[in-house]
Amino acid sequence: MTGKCVWFEGIPFPSLDYSPELLREVQESFLVKDKDVLLLTFPKSGTNWLIETVCLIYSKGDPKWVQSEPIWDRSPWVETKHGYELLKEKEGPRLISSHLPIQLFPKSFFKSKAKMIYLIRNPRDVLVSGYFFWRSAKFVKRPQSLEQYFEWFVEGNVVFGSWFDHARGWMSMRDKENFLILSYEEMKWDMRSTVEKICQFLGKKLEPEELNSVLKNSSFQAMKENSMSNYSLLKGQYFEENGQLLRKGVTGDWRNYFTVAQAETFDKLFQEKMADLPQDLFLWKQ
Ligand SMILES: Nc1ncnc2c1ncn2[C@@H]1O[C@H](COP(=O)(O)O)[C@@H](OP(=O)(O)O)[C@H]1O
Ligand SMILES: CCc1ccc(OS(=O)(=O)O)cc1
């Protein structure tokens, strides 16, 4: 994948709202505060689902906030021009989203007590989700086929770089007490327990009916219908009309797309790259 991307430290970024100068400034100068909460993902891991869930926890299940402010303003992306400007002005504890790999993240975070949630998803599903998403985006080089995107992905030649490097990098933080790893798969299998886990990590308490409302308003259907969360506001300018953020929202969709040979190639690569990490970090059944 070359062209229509901004390159920084060997990693391609979307051409929209990113620049090498800003990425350097974010890394060197953005001040993470102890009370900030950071939501970290590789793109297409369920980022927006996590943001919506945390926003709903903050509002105790009341959907007013998530239905009235665009998701990218509620928890701005620190590495985008828009997000960086918003965050600099924001008073008090902030929700901050990011797809940055650990080596490019604001240095101040590593000296802070800010809490971070890293959401991981089966990279095979990340790949398939990314293929469908990026082929309708106007600010990256679009893949022409799944076969082509598969090649880019396994080479680490997609926006935000190699999934393997991203996951390995952030997982090195797994023993820190201000760092929580969640998976898309556990959110799908038991969202109630996952919300309870997030609440415990963030020191938030929800009444049973508040928790029910978080579950209801963060569901796939509720988010798909919420114009503040489903990216429909970006259609035309940034995405083709047929583009959709909330595509299927399931686990294991890769099985419908990978050939036998692609599945074998991916398994081999996963083994090569991740074998030395505790395998209970990867909760999906391939
Ligand atoms: N409430 C929800 N429940 C389940 N999946 C959700 C969801 N909200 C978003 N997703 C899924 O998360 C993926 C997008 O990730 P991100 O927010 O990181 O861009 C998409 O996956 P699919 O393309 O597999 O459907 C999307 O459908
Ligand atoms: C606000 C435009 C935009 C930019 C990048 C996006 O994708 S991702 O968050 O990096 O997955 C989506 C929307």
What percent of the chain clears pLDDT 90, i.e. is strictly above it?
91
Q: Per-residue pLDDT for 19 more than 60?
A: yes
Q: Is 249 helix (H, G, I), strand (E, B) or coil?
A: coil
- The whole-number pLDDT of residue 284 equals 85
In the chain, what is the greatest distance between 2 CA atoms, to the nearest angstrom? 52
**Residue 119 forms beta bridges with which residues?**
41, 182
Sign of CA dihedral 232, 237, 238, 244: positive
Q: Which residue has the least CA distance to atom 21 on ligand 1?
A: 249
How would residue 176 be classed by pLDDT, with cut points 50, 70 and 90? very high
DSSP 284: S
Q: What digits encode the pLDDT tens for the residues 204-230?
A: 999 999 999 999 999 999 999 999 999
- The whole-number pLDDT of residue 82 equals 97
Q: Per-residue pLDDT for 195 more than 60?
A: yes
In the chain, DSSP finds a helix count (H) and a strand count (E) of 13, 6
Q: Per-residue pLDDT for 12 more than 70?
A: yes
- The answer to whether ipTM exceeds 0.90 is yes
Q: Is 198 helix (H, G, I), strand (E, B) or coil?
A: helix
Instruction: Locate 285 and state its tokens.
Output: 């059944």
Which of 163, 247, 250, when mutated, tests ligand 1's pocket best, judged by the most ligand atoms within 8 Å of its CB? 247
Residues identified as active-site: 99
Q: Of the candidates 101, 90, 97, which has an alpha carbon nearest to the alpha carbon of residue 116? A: 97
How would residue 1 be classed by pLDDT, with cut points 50, 70 and 90? low
Cβ(70) to ligand 2 under 6 A?
no
Ligand nearest to the CA of 72: 2
Cβ(234) to ligand 2 under 6 A?
yes
Q: What distance in Å separates the CA atoms of residue 42 and residue 47, rounded to the nearest whole number?
A: 8
Ligand nearest to the CA of 44: 1
Q: What digits encode the pLDDT tens for the residues 115-146?
A: 999 999 999 999 999 999 999 999 898 999 99
Cβ(99) to ligand 2 under 6 A?
yes
Superfamily per CATH, domain 5-285 = P-loop containing nucleotide triphosphate hydrolases (3.40.50.300)
Q: What digits encode the pLDDT tens for the residues 83-106?
A: 999 999 998 889 999 999 999 999
Ligand 1 shell residues, CB under 6 Å: 41, 43-49, 125, 129, 132, 218-220, 223, 245-249, 253
Mean pLDDT of the chain: 96
Separation of CA 100 and ligand 2 centre (Å): 13
Cβ(43) to ligand 2 under 6 A?
yes
Phi-psi region for residue 3, left (φ > 0), alpha (ψ -120 to 50) or beta? left
- The whole-number pLDDT of residue 3 equals 58
Q: Which residue has the least CA distance to atom 26 on ligand 1?
A: 246
Separation of CA 80 and ligand 2 centre (Å): 9
Instruction: Locate 265 and state its tokens.
Output: 């190639």
Q: Give the atom of ligand 2 at the shortest distance from the alpha carbon of 14.
A: 5
Spatial CB neighbours of 14, under 8 Å, sequence gap ≥ 6 = 5, 6, 137, 139, 140, 159
- The whole-number pLDDT of residue 286 equals 61
Separation of CA 48 and ligand 2 centre (Å): 10
Q: Which residue has the least CA distance to atom 2 on ligand 1?
A: 220
Separation of CA 147 and ligand 1 centre (Å): 22
Q: What distance in Å separates the CA atoms of residue 166 and residue 172, rounded to the nearest whole number?
A: 10
Spatial CB neighbours of 269, under 8 Å, sequence gap ≥ 6 = 154, 164
